[in-house]
């Protein structure tokens, strides 16, 4: 095949790809908030929802749906068990709910590893907790300990 033929094929393929309708065009994204109306989580969702419409190809509509209960457990269970996995449901939920799964709480009806984190509206500092019966009182104590430096997950 000649170079001209290859270039023509590539141009036709690119034009066909550009002509495709974006997935989200004509669809609605539900932003499911696991906290009461008027809460900080609700306000964040209402600030971010219009930005999704502007930034996502196809400019989907966005709707904020309030689904409070059990520290956002109700909304999280809904997203995991009822909402279709089609990219049209976004949760504003408690990021620490994975502890509930680790503790094997009976209320947990989700698998945290199946969720995809897409962002946060805030920046948090990292925290480290040390049991009081440990010989370390600071991060530097742990790094200098005879057992060697802290594993990479220990320091952020």
Average pLDDT over residues 7-32: 74
Give the integer Cα–Cα distance in Å for 141 and 143: 6
Question: What CATH architecture does domain 20-114 belong to?
Answer: 3-Layer(aba) Sandwich (3.40)
Sequence ranges of the domains in the chain: 20-114
- The predicted pLDDT at position 13 comes to 63
| pLDDT tens sequence across 83-128 | 999 999 999 999 889 889 999 999 999 999 999 888 877 777 766 6
Average pLDDT over residues 1-20: 59
- The predicted pLDDT at position 12 comes to 59
- The predicted pLDDT at position 16 comes to 54
- The predicted pLDDT at position 155 comes to 39
pTM above 0.75, yes or no: no
Determine the number of helices (DSSP H) and then strands (DSSP E) in the chain: 5, 3
Comparing 10 with 109, the larger pLDDT belongs to 109
Give the integer Cα–Cα distance in Å for 56 and 132: 48
């Amino acid at each position: 095949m000649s170079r001209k033929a290859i270039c023509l094929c590539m141009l036709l393929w690119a034009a066909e790809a550009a002509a495709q309708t974006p997935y989200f065009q004509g669809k609605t994204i539900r932003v499911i908030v696991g906290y009461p109306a008027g809460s900080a989580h609700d306000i964040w969702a209402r600030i971010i929802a219009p930005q999704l419409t502007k930034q996502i190809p196809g400019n989907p509509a966005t709707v904020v749906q309030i689904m409070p209960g059990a520290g956002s457990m109700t909304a999280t269970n809904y997203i995991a068990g009822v909402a279709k996995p089609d990219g049209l449901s976004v949760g504003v939920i408690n990021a620490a709910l994975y502890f509930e799964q680790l503790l094997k709480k009976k209320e947990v009806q989700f698998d945290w590893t199946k969720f995809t984190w897409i962002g946060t509206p805030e920046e948090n500092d990292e925290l480290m907790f040390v049991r009081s019966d440990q010989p370390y009182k600071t991060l530097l104590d742990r790094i200098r300990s005879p057992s060697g430096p802290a594993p990479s997950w220990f320091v952020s």
